[in-house]
Every structure is written in C-alpha cells, then in structure tokens.
C-alpha cells in the first residue's frame, strides 16, 4: 500500500483497498483493485485501488508523469498496443474482469469510448468520421446511419456549425470543432463509459468552455472519466476527483472536498499550486 505520508492535519485518511468512493448514491461501474503496471522494469502505476461511480464525472489530476493517462488507458486496454507492458491486479467494468483471458477487447472498446488529448479525426469527411464508427458496429442501413450521425453531432453541440458541410473533410475544421467531432464519434456508438485524456489541453479558452459544457451534458448518459492538468477544469466539471502522484493514488474523494478540504497534505499542496 501507499507509504505513510506526512500530513499537517491530524486527519486519519482511509488507509486501505478501495477508498470510500464519493458515489452520491451511484453504484460503482469501474472497480480497480490493487492495480500495478510496469513498462519493462519501470513501474508506472503502484498498487491502485478505487472505484469510478456510474453516471458521474470523475477527474484524474496530478503532475505530468504521475500515471493518470496510463491508468485511463487501462480501462479500454489501449496499453495493450505498447510492448513490454505488464499488469498486476484487476480492473472490473460492470463486474467483469476486463483482463480476463476470454474478454473480447474489440467489444470492450466499443463499450468504453475514448477521446484523445490531440483531436484525431480521420482524414475523411465529417459525416464519414462518425459513419465509420457506426459501420464498425455493423450498421449498414444508410438512413439509420444518417440519423445517428445527426443525433451525435447535435449531442456534441456541433450540428449547427457543420450541418451545411457534412461532406467536407474533417481536417478543415478548427481545433475545437475537431475535438467535438471526436467526441461525437465516440458517443455515436453509445458506449457506457467515456474516457477523456486531457481533451481540452490543446484548445483555447472559448473552445475549452464549449467542451466543458458538453461534458456536463453528456454525464446524463455516460460515465465520464477525464484526465486533466487544469485544476479549475476538474473543479468545474467533475463530481469526484482522484489525485495521483508518482504512480500512486494519493487521494480520491468528492471534488468539492478535494478542492476545499483535502485529507492529505500533498493533495492540498497540489491543488493550491504549491507544487506540480
């Protein structure tokens, strides 16, 4: 377990296993139990245990290299693509061990969508970007595809801006629009969980505000896990926040508590900007 940390306050922190999730009555959807991850010999994640509640926004914060993106990529097994990655412990989604031998990774990724740090629309038309995701699902009916494309663009608050140029290349969109297109693409296939890896870090404040509004809308439907460097962003949009440092989960609690009354000294130092 985590080494005892010096704390200014004499608060006793929950010491063990799954930290008490700030669930607001929401059942846990992702359960991480004693997860460690190694790149070759280097350990990137150290014995992490916690749970992500359903239909809430959970934010991962922490300085660069603390393992928050690595952990996020454990949830849809994107780390499988990297050589020499070794995992210990379990990750359960909806009670199912996603690293079990018989798990279908392709099906898993359809259930756990992902939005990347840098927007990465395909070099296809706006329409085809989303239609491609639908065709991967086995959808063939043109009218059905067109309906879902429109619906997803509405949901991603992009429809009004692109409805007249659906068949123009997606690479002609602005950065913020591209990122919203990526979100539309991810939600078009109706995943249970949406993973967002610093989705707004490359965008200007206006585009960032749009993405944040969008995330607040989307949490009605999806369980969202977002990695962010921006503390204000985490405070604005998340219900629960997990603070990571050097591959360890330092604290996981309701966002309001993390930002106003953290249990650990390190958390307080980080959220107040004293380090990191």
Partner 1 sequence: MLVGATNSSLAQEYREIIPPEDFARVPPDRLRQYLGLTRQQFEQMDEETLKDLMSLRIEAKAQMPDDPDAELNTTEWRYLLGPHQWTGYDRPAYIWQPVSQIHKYNLLPLFIGSLKTTFVALLFAVPLAIAAALYVSQLAHPRAREWLKPGIELLSGIPSVVLGFFALIVMASFFQALFGYPSRLNAFVAGLALGLAVIPVVFSIAEDALTSVPRSYTEAALALGSTRWQAAWQIVLPAALPGVFAATVLGFGRAIGETMIVLMASGNASIVSWNLFDSTRTLTATIAAELAETVVGGHHYRVLFLLGALLFAVTFVANLVGDLVIHRLKGRLEGRR
In the complex, which residues of this chain contact partner 1 (CB under 8 A)? 76, 78, 81, 83, 106-107, 109-110, 113-114, 116, 118, 120-124, 132-133, 136-137, 168-173, 182, 185-186, 189
Shortest distance, position 13 Cβ to partner 1, whole Å: 35
Shortest distance, position 70 Cβ to partner 1, whole Å: 14
Shortest distance, position 211 Cβ to partner 1, whole Å: 17
Considering the complex, state which of residue 72 and residue 237 has its C-beta at the smaller distance from partner 1: 72
Contacts of 211 (CB under 8 A, 6+ apart): 176, 179, 180, 183, 199, 200, 203
Considering the complex, state which of residue 83 and residue 164 has its C-beta at the smaller distance from partner 1: 83
Considering the complex, state which of residue 44 and residue 189 has its C-beta at the smaller distance from partner 1: 189
* Gap between the Cα atoms of 196 and 272, Å rounded: 24
C-beta atoms surrounding 207 within 10 Å:
18
Considering the complex, state which of residue 136 and residue 216 has its C-beta at the smaller distance from partner 1: 136
Shortest distance, position 23 Cβ to partner 1, whole Å: 27
Considering the complex, state which of residue 1 and residue 168 has its C-beta at the smaller distance from partner 1: 168
Contact 35, 3 (CB under 8 A): no
Considering the complex, state which of residue 17 and residue 105 has its C-beta at the smaller distance from partner 1: 105
Which residues on adjacent β-strands are paired with residue 113?
A: 194
Shortest distance, position 98 Cβ to partner 1, whole Å: 14
* DSSP string of 199-233, one letter each residue: TTTTS-HHHHHHHHHHHHHHTTTSEEEEE-S-HHH
Of 78, 81, 98, give the one whose Cα is nearest residue 35.
98
Which residues on adjacent β-strands are paired with residue 156?
A: none
Shortest distance, position 171 Cβ to partner 1, whole Å: 4
How far is CA 115 from each of CA 14, 42, 109, 230, rounded to the nearest angstrom? 32, 26, 12, 17
């Amino acid at each position: 377990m985590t080494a005892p940390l010096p704390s200014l306050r004499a608060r006793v922190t929950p010491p063990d296993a799954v930290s008490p999730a700030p669930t607001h009555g929401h059942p846990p959807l992702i359960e991480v139990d004693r997860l460690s991850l190694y790149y070759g010999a280097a350990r990137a994640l150290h014995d992490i245990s916690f749970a992500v509640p359903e239909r809430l926004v959970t934010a991962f914060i922490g300085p660069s290299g603390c393992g928050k993106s690595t952990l996020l990529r454990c949830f849809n097994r994107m780390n499988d693509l990297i050589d020499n990655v070794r995992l210990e412990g379990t990750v359960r989604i909806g009670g199912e061990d996603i690293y079990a031998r018989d798990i279908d990774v392709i099906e898993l990724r359809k259930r756990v969508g992902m939005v990347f740090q840098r927007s990465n629309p395909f070099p296809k038309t706006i329409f085809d970007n989303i239609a491609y995701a639908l065709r991967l699902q086995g959808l063939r009916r043109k009218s059905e595809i067109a309906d879902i494309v429109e619906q997803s663009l509405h949901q991603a608050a992009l429809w009004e801006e692109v409805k007249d140029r659906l068949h123009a290349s997606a690479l002609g969109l602005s950065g913020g629009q591209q990122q919203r297109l990526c979100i539309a693409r991810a939600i078009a296939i109706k995943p249970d969980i949406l993973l967002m890896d610093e989705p707004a870090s490359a965008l200007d404040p206006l585009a960032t505000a749009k993405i944040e509004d969008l995330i607040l809308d989307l949490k009605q439907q999806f369980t969202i896990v977002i990695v962010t460097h921006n503390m204000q962003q985490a405070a604005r949009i998340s219900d629960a926040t997990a603070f990571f440092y050097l591959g360890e989960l330092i604290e996981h609690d309701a966002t309001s508590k993390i930002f106003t009354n953290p249990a650990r000294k390190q958390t307080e130092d980080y959220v107040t900007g004293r380090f990191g």
